[in-house]
Amino acid sequence: MAQYLIKTCEQCTKFNARPTVRPEPGRYPLETKPGREIIIDYTDMIDLVRRYRYVLMCVDSYTGWPEACPTKKEDGKSVIKFLVNQYIPRHGFPGKIRSENGTYFKNQDLQQVEVMLGLKHSFGTVYHPQVERINQMVKSKLAKICAQTKLNYVDVLPLVLMSIRSSVNQSTGFTLHELQTGRAFPGPYSKLPLMRSDDQNLTSKVYFHELQGLVSVFSKQVKAQQESATKTALPEPEWVC
């Protein structure tokens, strides 16, 4: 039934990604905790919306958690603003930043700011399946929602990010929100249980230790899945509807 709906959906047929030949993924150590490494990249949206043409994408290497912001240019200044005004205030200082060798990432001003903040930046031309997959999902969802609602991608972007963060990843069995925060995404009328009934009050200390335990369990499962994935071929792209 689901496959039939996808095949007959006009927006899905028009905007869903098609299988393509992928390059060999880059070989680098797998991360074991959120925030230790992020991958950044620019996506060209082609259309201008309030003079914004690009989207700066940022993906956590471990959880796959996406952050994104529209930019007017592909430049180092936009990366600086994103790190200082958005990413770091929300998530803290990343242990490492990875990107391609673009001049906007090797910008002198950006490098000086990274040195001042104690950020390590690694460059390379290797294929990053995490960020490529998120880029593909973001563009596909943006295109479909914009086509259906007649809104522009700048206004729709926060909704798309929420959708991706709260969707279950088929390979890990968790949502990105669960991996990042240790709890389910709060939906309408949803409860937020940890390891006890909701009518019991939790002290901050007990809440912290229970949340820490959940994240530890998640980490072991995700690490096992990541190690298994490196030994097998990349799966076909998931259909996004």
CATH numbers and ranges of domains, the chain: 9-18+25-165 (3.30.420.10)
Query: SS3 for 45?
Result: strand
pLDDT in the model for residue 205? 81
pLDDT in the model for residue 129? 76
Which is nearest to 141 in space by CA: 38, 66, 60?
66
pLDDT in the model for residue 181? 86
Q: How far is CA 117 from each of CA 1, 101, 126, rounded to the nearest angstrom? A: 52, 21, 26
State the amino acid at position 141 in one-letter form: K
Parts of the chain with a pLDDT under 50: 18-26, 233-241
pLDDT in the model for residue 32? 74
Q: Other CB atoms closer than 10 Å to residue 145's CB: what's the count?
A: 20
